[in-house]
Amino acid sequence: MAQVTAVEAQQWLIEKIAHRLGVAPGEVSPEQYFDELDLDSTEALILAGEMENWLGFELGTTTLWYHPTIKDLAAHIAEESGQRAAA
Protein backbone atom coordinates (compact mmCIF):
# COMPACT_ATOMS: atom_id res chain seq x y z
CA MET A 1 0.00 0.00 0.00
CA ALA A 2 1.11 3.59 -0.67
CA GLN A 3 2.30 5.73 2.22
CA VAL A 4 -0.55 6.78 4.52
CA THR A 5 -0.59 10.34 5.83
CA ALA A 6 -1.71 11.31 9.31
CA VAL A 7 -4.78 13.05 7.86
CA GLU A 8 -5.81 9.91 5.94
CA ALA A 9 -5.27 7.69 8.96
CA GLN A 10 -7.24 10.05 11.19
CA GLN A 11 -10.10 10.20 8.69
CA TRP A 12 -10.18 6.40 8.40
CA LEU A 13 -10.24 5.97 12.17
CA ILE A 14 -12.96 8.56 12.69
CA GLU A 15 -15.18 7.04 9.99
CA LYS A 16 -14.82 3.51 11.34
CA ILE A 17 -15.33 4.51 14.97
CA ALA A 18 -18.34 6.67 14.12
CA HIS A 19 -19.86 3.74 12.22
CA ARG A 20 -19.29 1.34 15.15
CA LEU A 21 -20.79 3.84 17.59
CA GLY A 22 -23.68 4.71 15.25
CA VAL A 23 -22.90 8.46 15.33
CA ALA A 24 -21.94 11.05 12.71
CA PRO A 25 -18.17 11.35 12.04
CA GLY A 26 -18.33 14.96 13.21
CA GLU A 27 -19.25 13.74 16.68
CA VAL A 28 -15.96 11.84 17.10
CA SER A 29 -13.16 14.11 18.29
CA PRO A 30 -9.59 13.22 17.24
CA GLU A 31 -8.46 14.35 20.69
CA GLN A 32 -10.67 11.83 22.46
CA TYR A 33 -9.02 8.96 24.31
CA PHE A 34 -9.93 5.50 23.01
CA ASP A 35 -10.95 4.38 26.48
CA GLU A 36 -13.45 7.24 26.65
CA LEU A 37 -15.20 5.96 23.54
CA ASP A 38 -17.95 3.43 23.98
CA LEU A 39 -15.87 0.66 22.42
CA ASP A 40 -15.23 -2.49 24.43
CA SER A 41 -12.03 -4.52 24.17
CA THR A 42 -13.60 -6.86 21.61
CA GLU A 43 -14.54 -4.00 19.31
CA ALA A 44 -11.14 -2.34 19.79
CA LEU A 45 -9.32 -5.50 18.67
CA ILE A 46 -11.66 -5.97 15.71
CA LEU A 47 -10.99 -2.37 14.69
CA ALA A 48 -7.23 -2.94 15.08
CA GLY A 49 -7.43 -5.99 12.79
CA GLU A 50 -9.42 -4.08 10.19
CA MET A 51 -6.90 -1.24 10.35
CA GLU A 52 -3.95 -3.60 9.87
CA ASN A 53 -5.68 -5.08 6.84
CA TRP A 54 -6.14 -1.58 5.39
CA LEU A 55 -2.55 -0.56 6.13
CA GLY A 56 -1.00 -3.80 4.97
CA PHE A 57 1.25 -4.08 8.01
CA GLU A 58 0.82 -5.19 11.58
CA LEU A 59 0.57 -2.85 14.52
CA GLY A 60 1.47 -4.26 17.91
CA THR A 61 -1.55 -4.97 20.11
CA THR A 62 -0.10 -2.62 22.71
CA THR A 63 0.03 0.28 20.21
CA LEU A 64 -3.28 1.67 21.45
CA TRP A 65 -1.86 1.94 24.99
CA TYR A 66 1.06 4.06 23.83
CA HIS A 67 -0.93 6.15 21.31
CA PRO A 68 -4.20 6.50 23.17
CA THR A 69 -6.01 9.13 21.07
CA ILE A 70 -7.14 9.04 17.43
CA LYS A 71 -4.85 11.96 16.61
CA ASP A 72 -1.83 10.41 18.30
CA LEU A 73 -2.41 7.00 16.74
CA ALA A 74 -2.86 8.58 13.28
CA ALA A 75 0.48 10.35 13.65
CA HIS A 76 2.14 7.08 14.69
CA ILE A 77 0.61 5.24 11.72
CA ALA A 78 1.85 7.93 9.31
CA GLU A 79 5.37 7.70 10.76
CA GLU A 80 5.37 3.90 10.60
CA SER A 81 3.96 3.95 7.07
CA GLY A 82 6.59 6.47 5.98
CA GLN A 83 9.42 4.34 7.38
CA ARG A 84 8.11 1.28 5.59
CA ALA A 85 7.72 3.17 2.30
CA ALA A 86 11.31 4.45 2.59
CA ALA A 87 12.76 1.05 3.46
Partner 1 sequence: MPPRRPGPVAALPLRRAAVGGHTVHLVHPGALAPQVHRTLAEALPEGVGLTVLDLSAVPEYGEAALTGGRAETTVEALADWAAGLTSHQFSLVGWSFGGVVAQAMVERLPADRRPERLVLLDSIAPTEEYQQPDEALEPPLLLGWFAMYLGAKRGRPVPLDPAALLGCGVDDGLPLVLDAATASGALLPDTPLPGLRKLYDTYVDGLLRNNRLTAPYRPKSSSVPLVLVKAERSLIPEDPTLGWQPLAPHGLSLAVAPGDHYTMLTRPDAAQAIARLVHPV
The H or E element that residue 73 is part of is helix 70-86
Among 7-15, 23-31, 66-74, 79-87, which window interacts with partner 1 (CB under 8 A)? 66-74
At 6 the three-state DSSP class reads helix
d(CA 50, CA 52): 6
Q: Which is nearer to partner 1, 62 or 86 (CB)?
A: 62
Instruction: Specify the residue, 27 or 66, whose C-beta has the smaller distance to partner 1.
Output: 66
Of the residues 23, 27, 29, 53, which one makes contact with partner 1 according to CB under 8 A: 53
Report d(CA 27, CA 60) in Å as an integer.
27
List binders of partner 1 among 3-22 (CB under 8 A).
Answer: 20
Shortest Cβ distance from residue 15 to partner 1 (Å)?
A: 13
Please give the Cα distance from 39 to 17 (Å, whole number): 8
